[in-house]
Chain A
Amino acid sequence: MAAISQHPGGVKLAGGILPKWAPYGVYGGSFVLVGAVLAAAGSFTVALTLALSVLVACAGIYAWSRAVEGPRRAVDRTMTMLIVAAFALAMIPLASLIFEVVKRGVPGLSWEFFTEDSRGKIGGGGAAHAIVGTLVITGVAVVISVPIGLMAAIYMNEYGTGKLRRALTFFVDVMTGIPSIVAGLFAFALFELFFGPGIRLGVMGSVALTVLMIPIVIRSAEEVLKIVPNHLREAAYALGTPKWKTITKVVLPTAFAGLVTGVMIATARIIGETAPLLVTTGVVDSMNADPFNGRMQNLAVYAYNEYRSPGVMKQASYDRAWAAALVLIAIVMILNVAARLVYRRYKTEIR
């Protein structure tokens, strides 16, 4: 055994160390302990046990570590445990959300759900009109936002001169902060001024979504355009290429994958927006695919409505609400994953 040297201040090099399994063991033990106590008191739930056992485990590991390793190590271990617990705490709702949507939404799915609308069908019907509506309203919003947002981003990145560009950056920042319902109110007010009160059109929803979508598109397009290295542009200029051609034939193709990804992610963000559509497109039971003619239903408002005003068969309505939510979240997930795949597949490697 090595000699213990006399270090200044009595600092010992080596001391006790807790075994590797210590944190897991302490938590496991706490869980069992707390569970037993709660069960004996008759108020056992998994959630409560998980939560309380974190507290007990922290106290336990602190005490044990302090006795064996010293106070500083004990604090380190306890904080680590708390941080891990915090992450788990954030993940549990995520798991629960997805689990519940699937569990409660599946019963509502049916052939009827996807093919029928709700007109005249008391206590039944489907969400076909809502699905179509979501696609149309979002589609129109994308068609309006992307060109405007892209050109604005191009302006800011490629042409921008001090003043207008700075003002733009500032205002785009402001736009990102607009509450979604305020965007809806704006679209409503805009159309009301021109068409009178009581107007409800699919395209109004699209306008509201555009207000929300444009800043997102601009932000992500800006990021992507910035990444295109300057030497590519300069190479084109040196060849005598005019600026607009440089942009369309060099910059945009290089940034293409990133731009598409940005648009897809922005679409995923706004496709689930309910509030602005609630105040603009109205609620309707029948199929309508014309954004310029009358009310249009969409998945988010449909889900809200089935929950808020369930029909005679309450549970069936709730089922349909959850089913609409499930379809919505599936679309969002698919868009997100597809966006990343598109990026990976089509991006141009810049050396």
Chain B
Amino acid sequence: MLGAGTKRTEEGAAVSGDTEAAGSTGTAAPAPPAADGTAARTIEARDVNLFYGGFHAVEGVTMTVEPNKVTALIGSSGCGKTTFLRSLNRMHELTPGATVKGDVTLDGEDIYAAGVDPVAVRRLIGMVFQQPNPFPTMSIYDNVAAGLNLNVGRMRKADKDAIVERSLRGANLWEEVKDRLDKPGSGLSGGQQQRLCIARAIAVEPEVLLMDEPCSALDPVATLAVEDLIGELKSKYTIVIVTHNMQQASRASDRTAFFNLEESGKPGRLVEIGPTETIFTNPTQKATEDYVSGRFG
């Protein structure tokens, strides 16, 4: 693997003609909006084990997240779905004492490799949280542009405006906020705030979007809006969504992964993964069947 302090040389053609120092993050602007914009990638997890200090939280997860599909992670509380999700964008390790064993690759590249900058990983794999968390001191415009301001130094105002508008449209929020872009992000309703967070996440053009129970804090109308949005977004992004709500999983996802705990104190495991329809109507594992038919959880 890479030795410390060495630089990687470029292989293959540079994208969009930008030149930047190898190994730098964020000196290049996102590619101009393409018509189909398919940059989505595959995530593969191989024997992922997650720990909080000495506590083994998740064991032996091996699964493939397919590109341009919505994969739902379901299972009862505490079985490790969110922990596993957060290991996909290297947020898990931000908890003091938390460690990761195993491989997670983004289209073949190990995101946990020695030379990899977690900051770069998080730009490529975005996250939307359970509680909408727009930055309260920033306006709506600045919220959406927050990732851009971080990752791309100078941008022409016109370019930034275009990206902000594109992201807000992509999040189905443009029409509602286009006249008040300079108002604080905290002045919106819960559902609007969550769509704002989605807009913020897609503004930097990630390849994968991770969503941790994005609708659990929202009312049914807002939930439906976000679910519709997810359906539209999958054409451009790979989406992984953790949800407690089985109906939501069966409505909104293409593939479903069922996590379970054998007993409390033991690590959570992936029990079964497959096309949503199969998981819900004809699962192969008994535990899966018990869960989806409501016998527990």
Contact = CB atoms under 8 A, between A and B. Distances in A.
Interface of A: 2-20, 68-73
B15 A69 contact: no
A13 B2 CA distance: 13
Contact of B7 (A5, A7, A13, A68): A68
Interface stretch (B56-64, B115-123, B271-279, B289-297): B115-123
A29 to B, nearest CB: 16
B2 A71 contact: no
Contacts, number: 125
A15 B22 contact: yes
Given A9-B31, A9-B205, A10-B20, A15 B15 contact: no
B25 A10 contact: no
Contacts of A71: 24, 26-27, 153
Contact of A14 (B2, B13, B41): B2
Given A15-B22, A17-B115, A9 B11 contact: no
Main secondary structure of the interface of A (DSSP, over half): loop
A12 B116 CA distance: 9
B107 interface: yes
A2 to B, nearest CB: 5
A70 B25 contact: yes
A17 B117 contact: yes
B12 A15 contact: no
Contacts of B28: 9-11
Contacts of B24: 12, 15, 69-71
A11 B24 CA distance: 8
B106 A13 contact: yes
Nearest to A70: B24
Contacts of B113: 2, 13-14
Contact of B115 (A9, A16, A73): A16
Given A13-B113, A17-B5, 14 more contacts: A2-B105, A2-B108, A2-B110, A4-B12, A4-B109, A5-B107, A8-B30, A9-B15, A9-B31, A11-B28, A14-B8, A69-B117, A70-B27, A72-B119
- Interface centre among A2, A7, A18, A72, by most chain B C-beta atoms within 10 angstroms, is A7
Contacts of A12: 8, 22-25, 120
A68 B15 contact: no
22 contacts: A5-B108, A6-B12, A7-B39, A7-B124, A8-B15, A8-B207, A9-B29, A10-B18, A10-B20, A11-B124, A12-B8, A13-B106, A14-B8, A14-B120, A15-B23, A16-B8, A16-B115, A17-B5, A19-B5, A69-B24, A70-B21, A72-B150
The 6 lowest CB-CB distance pairs between A and B, nearest first, are: A15-B23, A70-B24, A14-B115, A10-B28, A14-B116, A9-B30
Contacts of A72: 25-26, 119, 150
A9 B155 CA distance: 14
B221 interface: no
A14 B11 CA distance: 13
B171 interface: no
B258 to A, nearest CB: 30
Nearest to B153: A71
A198 B114 CA distance: 78
A72 B121 CA distance: 15
B6 interface: yes
B158 interface: no
B66 to A, nearest CB: 16
Nearest to B26: A72
Among A2, A5, A19: residue with most chain B CB under 10 A: A5
Nearest to A3: B108
A70 B109 CA distance: 21
A24 to B, nearest CB: 15
Given A4-B8, A11-B124, A16 B207 contact: no
A235 B124 CA distance: 57
A20 B4 CA distance: 9
A73 B117 CA distance: 10
A12 B23 CA distance: 6
A68 B150 contact: no
A13 B124 contact: yes
A37 B111 CA distance: 45
B207 A13 contact: no
B14 interface: yes
Contact of A13 (B10, B30, B109): B109
Interface in B94-146: 105-111, 113-117, 119-121, 123-124
A239 B30 CA distance: 70
A73 B115 CA distance: 14
Nearest to A6: B15
Nearest to A64: B5
B27 A16 contact: no
Contacts of B117: 13-15, 17, 69, 73
A22 to B, nearest CB: 9
B205 A15 contact: no
B39 A8 contact: yes
